[in-house]
Amino acid sequence: MSQAQAPDPRQTLSPEAVARWLARHPDFFVGREGLLQQLKVPHPETQGAISLLERLVLDLRERAEGAEWRLEQLLESARHNESQYRRTRELILALLEAEDSDALGQALATQLSERFRTQSVALWCAPSLTDREPQPPQPPRFVLDETAGTRLAALLDGRTSRCRRLSRKDWQRLLPHIEPPNQAGSCALTRLTLGEPLGYLILASHDTEHFRASLDTLFTEYLGDVVVRLLVRQTPGQ
């Protein structure tokens, strides 16, 4: 009767089996440091092999660099948010200090130009916000008429606010106090509403990418909410 042959380790030990065994025996290399120094693994970036310890050092360095990059991204985001908060705070304070609706419009245009690189602003106000004023509104405020209202509603296309391109023709009609771009610009639009429709706020730029369609409109909506409340508060008889 022949003696049974021992199984060939190369046939019974798969890489997955070795990995599972080492995971269950994390102390295997204790006292076998020489073995660690003899193990060779592929270099992650170039041809050839390096020791396991060198590979671990490279992996740790890569992880540290990744963590450092993520930390820098978080810090940059924090710096941006702080800057945005400070600029928004100064803008709102300037609007609160405006003595009347025309001063409010001027403060809005000035602050947005200086702090947010917005070239032009227009406030199209419903007649109910202007019909009791002793003088016609001064740019950037305008009385909302049927033609402007229809076009602004079409540009919003059923939305409360949006960013989009603005043709030269629309610029001339909706921002008549500012020289239009040669061809087209961009704008952020928001509807002014406080229980009822009271107008529109337009922020515009000659740069077609400044208010690109993919931008979030949260800031524009927030600004519109503030402006419409101040306009109502400053309307004679309110």
What pLDDT is attached to residue 1?
Answer: 46
What pLDDT is attached to residue 210?
Answer: 94
Share of the chain above pLDDT 70, in %: 86
- For 79-93, write each residue's pLDDT tens digit: 988 999 999 999 999
**3-class DSSP state for residue 122?**
strand
Identify the sign of the CA torsion 218, 216, 224, 109: positive
Tokens of 79: 């710096």
Identify the sign of the CA torsion 234, 235, 236, 238: negative
C-alpha to C-alpha distance for 190 and 211, rounded to whole angstroms: 13
- Taking the domains of the chain in order of start, what are their residue ranges? 41-97, 101-234
Identify the sign of the CA torsion 92, 96, 97, 103: positive
Over 80: is that where the pLDDT of 198 sits?
yes
Q: In which residue are the tokens 């771009």 written?
A: 181
Are the CB atoms for 181 and 211 separated by under 8 Å?
Answer: no
| Mean pLDDT score, 206-235 | 95
C-alpha to C-alpha distance for 230 and 184, rounded to whole angstroms: 31
Tell me yes or no: is domain 101-234 CATH 3.40.50.620: no
Over 80: is that where the pLDDT of 164 sits?
yes
| Mean pLDDT score, 29-35 | 72
- Alpha carbon dihedral 188, 223, 116, 86, in 10-degree steps, equals -150
- For 97-140, write each residue's pLDDT tens digit: 999 999 999 999 999 999 999 999 999 999 999 988 888 999 99
The DSSP call for residue 130 is T
**3-class DSSP state for residue 29?**
coil
Over 60: is that where the pLDDT of 4 sits?
no
| Extended beta strands in the chain, E state | 40-42, 49-51, 120-125, 141-143, 161-167, 184-193, 197-205
pTM above 0.75, yes or no: no
**3-class DSSP state for residue 27?**
coil
Tokens of 23: 């995971």
